[in-house]
Structure 1
Amino acid sequence: MRLRPRIVLSALGVAFTAYLGIGWQWWEGGFADHWAATAGAVALYLATSWLSIFWGQRSGEALQRGLVDDTGMTTGVGGPTLLPAWVAGLALLTAAIVPSVVWASVDEAGRTQPYATWTIGAIGALMVIVVVRRRPVVAATGIALLTLQGAVWIGLLPVLSVGLVGSIVWTAMAQLLMWSTDRASRESTQLTRLQRAASEWLASQAGRQRERRVQVQRALAVAGPVLARTIAAGGDLDTHERELARLAEGRVRDELRGRRLLDDDVRGVLEAARQRGANVTVLDEGGLDGLGERGLRAVRAELADVLRDAQSERIYIRTAPHETVAVTVVGRSREDGEDTVDLWREIALPVPAPDAEKRSAGAGR
């Protein structure tokens, strides 16, 4: 059986408070005349301590599901949660009542004896629990009330010598430990986020490197023969070879700048446009990233139809992020010495099919 840290710490808290509450030498203090009040004070202390330990604890599973905000948890989703206000108020009431009831139940000479001063350690332990449960102001107020009662019933210096200093130190150390562990938790969370961001960046860089390698391989496949011929000829190409080089350059630019727009039909019409002398520019600046393969096929088919009938001297094909337009095709030609637009076509973004929308919505849920 695997014990969780919370279970172990809670069990230790119960055992320690039980020892402080009922392990004192009650038979030596002459409590017979006030046994009911003393027993009530002990019962109040034990009930309050155990409520402070257990009440309002939420499981790590609920925090992991996002049902509870775990901001500032000492140990992430398994850390202590905020003590409910009414339990914190009960702890403050206990700190204000229990010491006075016990000290009022014994004579003046016995108030500095262990059977009467157990309340100092008991209230100190209770305030430590309150600190751990995220109520430091309540804990500080409880220690102040304990100090005030000790000064009234015993005297300030005597009460400091019989355990008040220890209770103050316990509470202060608990708060310092909470601050330290909270800071460590925040830094750990920040480090985890940085590591995740670094992993995502490395993955994206690896993807881009693979994509660049693929593009270079395609460029070499297209332009390799022309480059080899150019090198072999020392750049002295005839008219036909220069035309082949121009077409190869256009194909390479298309592969590098607008690969998502290309399929066999689009490549064919682009090649035909260049062979008739047109200057074609393809530029993909985004806007197609959210499209699936079906949407891309529709856009490419419409682009091929547009280019098949185009007669412009210069053709610009461009994609950009837009709400409704996927691709813009502009054609320009010179007529009577003036540059005019003789082609303008906007290819709309495909509308997702209803079943695809339902699947996407289901995946989102």
Structure 2
Amino acid sequence: MKSRILFSALAGLLLAGLTVLFAPASPANAHGNVTGPASRNYGCFERWGSKFQDPAMATEDPMCWQAWQANPNAMWNWNGLFRENVAGNHQGAIPDGQLCSGGRTESGRYNAMDTIGDWKATNVGNSFNVKLFDGARHGADYIRVYVSKPGFNPVTQAPKWSDLEQVSQIGNTPAAQWTQRADGVEIDVPVSAPGRSGRALVYTIWQASHSDQSYYFCSDVNFGGATTPPTTPPTTPPTTPPTTPPTTPPTTPAAGACSATYSTSSQWSGGFQGEVKVTVGSSAIKSWTVTLAYDSAPSVQQSWNSTVSASGNSLVAKNAAYNGALPAAGTTSFGYIGSGTATTPTVTCAAAV
């Protein structure tokens, strides 16, 4: 099978940061994820992104509920579950029991993906495709797909490397050879797991053709059910989430109406991902605007949880519809993909009260 699915090598394309999508010649807006069978965090985003504080989730989808409570950014940033500089030593970089969080990558953002329990499972047959979406058009040095061995139950066990059996691999495939979409590229990896039945875990490693970036995805499946078609990822955050922010107020309010802090969460040749945390002062606010002053403002390929526009040498970020009204001492965050080399801007915050 390997010889049938290997593709010939082409020139690699320049890529991007964390919300997956763009033309090969420009920095991308994101990375990617397995959308079918949906990975744990992408599935939670797909099902609950527009209603992430609906109390019904606690009983209808308890594993997603605990994940949203632990860190909403694991779902908002559904395309950023990766590690850098692993050099192919995946088992050395990721301990047993931490496979679904990529070894607690990104400062523990995705730790809830390791929680043992009854995650929603996709029904599959013994032959199915793993669909990988690549919004940054990284392409792949390789994609490896594993299925848990018979006897392993993801409802009661945390996966170890010894629980997995590799069932498929695609070799070097530049993004030009993937299926082209307006918002990125996608590829199907054929999988055959004869004789399997019941609950299992599908584990995908995507070695992106961009620096040394390795992505790790856990997808819960049920062999023997009716095959569920893969889903299509959204290109923008949901437009109708509740107005209550998904964050926990800090113990000390910010000085003034609001304050903001900037950090560079990822960078690569030609681009970077910036993230900003907004903290409210001692009184509730109705909306906020953050100004990031640069010596020379980068062009922004994409933003999430905010609307970002350029104004001279500054970037001006305004809240989304669902995270502008915040209580006293409340917090929220937003991010964006910028072109060029990351530099730290001067950050100011203004709020309407």
Q: Same fold (TM over 0.5)?
A: no
Q: Which has the higher helix share?
A: 1
Which has the larger Rg? 1
User: With CA pairs under 8 Å and 6+ residues apart, which has the higher RCO, 1 or 2?
Assistant: 2
Q: Which has the higher strand share?
A: 2
